[in-house]
Amino acid sequence: MKKNLIDKYQWFLITGIAVLSLGFYTAFGDIYFEIGKNIDIFSRVYKEITLNYVDEVNPEEFIRAGIRGMLKELDPYTTFIDEKRQDDIDLMTKGKYGGIGITVGIRGEHVLIIEVMDGYSAQKQGLLPGDALFEVSGVKVKPSNYDDVSKLVKGAPGTFVDLKVLRGEPSDTLSFTLLREEISVKNVAFAGFIPENSSNAYIKLSGFTRTAGDELRNEIVKLNSVRRIETVVLDLRGNPGGLLDMAIDVSNKFLNRGDLIVTTKGRDSVSLRKFFAEQEPLLKSVDMAVLIDGGTASASEIVAGALQDYDRAIIVGEKSFGKGLVQTVTSLSYNTSVKITTSRYYTPSGRSIQKIDYAKDNKVIGKHDSVLTTEFRTKNNRLVYSGGGISPDTTVSAKLKSDFVKDLLAKGMIFEFVNGFYEKNKSLKFENLNENLILDEFNSFLKKKKYEFKHPKIVQLNELILTFGQDKNYVHLQGKIEELKKEIEKTSKNILDLHKTETANEILLELAGRYHDSGFRIKYRLTDDVQFKTALDIINNKSLYRKLLALN
């Protein structure tokens, strides 16, 4: 009898486990079976190709090409991070890296030092903007291996790196042995009163690494100790974003404790998270403007969206980038990582500002929240929209550069000229530079370099001439197009005279960073900044400011 009871108990237990297991399999079994099946197929294909392909295959490059191809089917923010790019993760999360304090870029046939940071090894030992990197740790530097330069220059603090640079014309080869230090990247690129004798605080926030909130707090406290801040312009233009918690911290400097700042939502309702302001604001009641443009993205949009939804600031400039996706970095083996889009974020009013719906018509992705353009309301009942980034309350387009100046910048003509001019005129004061003298020297420089401006439309006209020459119905138009082409070419010969003010401004802007620090360069740029001037006009016009934010 006892044995029969045990047998019945065991039968019920086994049956119960089987039923539970069946339920688990029904809910999750299909996806795990598909994962296992396709990993098996993938590994077999990888092995067969690697071992049996007609030519020798690099196993590491082959599998990583497969990983990149797989992730490419999702969105551009879900990426594999290999060993070479781990410094990028440290920079993003900690705002620090081991290096010598330089920024480099490609100009023509050289990799040049674009910026030398204040207070670090490169500046202390005399490296200059415009120096061409010739060799780093015995490796010749050229545009083709530009991606490797950062890895060569960076390294553990306390270690040394050997550099050879080319300077001047004719070029001298200079050798440096530089100590790598812990470089802290500043999030607040500049903070000060502008105009200088006013009570308007201008703050240029360029990133959202781990120290962004503390830097902002320190700068606000410092400015308030000089004189009481009465208005503030927060410049988020060109800010690509960064850490979500830093966006929350920055927003908290202006919003009231308890205000909802952002909501994130992942695949299911369990992943829904709401983030609130947890501190009293540093600047509670001062009138405020936020500058945005097409380069304002991610964490920057969280800040701009929250301040707009609470009618806390007037948003001025151009529509933001529209990145409403949140990424999580997961460490993998062998010092690699994967950055995965894990959720979408929503502003306090409930709007998504994601511009592109990567999941739409994507066979890889199943059920998802689509990016909809829907109406929402701010705290004061103003109309705002989701989808497509943050729209400014006052749209002001930045001044567009002419094709001529774009060409000069792209070919490094201005940068190269400034290098030589500064070397010869270090003793001069920036404030005393003569614009006409600079343009005369620049004109001579262009002639020496045999620079010739070819208007982009010339290429199109050449194509038209060729096309019409092949069609008997239009061949008679060839001569007229040739005349137009010659007229454009004739005008292009005196192109510097036509754009002398714009060209002089670009040269002076570059020189401002040579004669003074980067902060002065930012201030100098504001003297001809129509978006900043508009923001300043609005916050100084109390009735207009209140009307735009529906505060009356």
**Residue given tokens 């503390």 in the structure block:** 214
Which residues have CB under 8 Å from 513's CB, separation 6+?
Answer: 115, 129, 520, 521
Q: Which one of 251, 298, 300, 386 is the catalytic residue?
A: 298
Which residues have CB under 8 Å from 271's CB, separation 6+?
Answer: 264, 265, 342, 343
Quote the CA–CA distance of 383 and 305 in Å, as a whole number.
13
Quote the CA–CA distance of 544 and 130 in Å, as a whole number.
46
Structure-block tokens of residue 219: 């700068």
| Count of alpha carbons within 13 angstroms of residue 92, beta-carbon side | 16
Let me know if 293 is a catalytic residue: no
Of 211, 207, 214, whose CA–CA distance to 239 is shortest? 207
Angle between the N-to-C axes of helices 59-72 and 30-52, in degrees from 0 to 180, rounded to the nearest 10: 140
**What is the number of other CB atoms lying within 10 angstroms of the CB of residue 268?**
7
Between CA 468 and CA 474, with CA 471 as vertex, the angle to 5 degrees is 55
Contact 521, 513 (CB under 8 A): yes
Of 136, 144, 86, 96, whose CA–CA distance to 120 is shortest? 96
Of 522, 515, 509, 523, whose CA–CA distance to 415 is shortest? 509
Contact 507, 435 (CB under 8 A): no
Contact 217, 200 (CB under 8 A): no
Q: Is the link from the previous residue into 195 a cis peptide, with omega within 30 of 0? A: yes
Let me know if 43 is a catalytic residue: no
Helices (H), 211-268: 212-226, 244-252
HEC-encoded secondary structure of 312-371: CCEEEECCCCCCCEEEEEEECCCCCEEEEEEEEEECCCCCECCCCCCCCCCCCCCCCCCC
Q: Which one of 323, 337, 393, 407 is the catalytic residue?
A: 323
Let me know if 298 is a catalytic residue: yes
- Work out whether strand 314-317 and strand 337-346 pair parallel, antiparallel, or are unpaired: unpaired
Alpha-carbon dihedral sign for residues 80, 85, 87, 93: negative
Helix (H) or strand (E) holding 383: strand 383-385
Q: Which one of 75, 287, 309, 407 is the catalytic residue?
A: 309
Long-range contacts of residues 114-122, Cβ cutoff 8 Å, at least 24 apart: 114/415, 115/513, 115/518, 117/183, 118/517, 118/518, 120/181, 120/183, 121/178, 121/179, 121/180, 121/181, 122/178
- CA dihedral of residues 444, 448, 454, 455 (deg, nearest 10): -20
Residue 418: DSSP 8-state: H
**What is the number of other CB atoms lying within 10 angstroms of the CB of residue 288?**
22
Q: Would you name the residues annotated as active-site residues?
A: 298, 309, 323
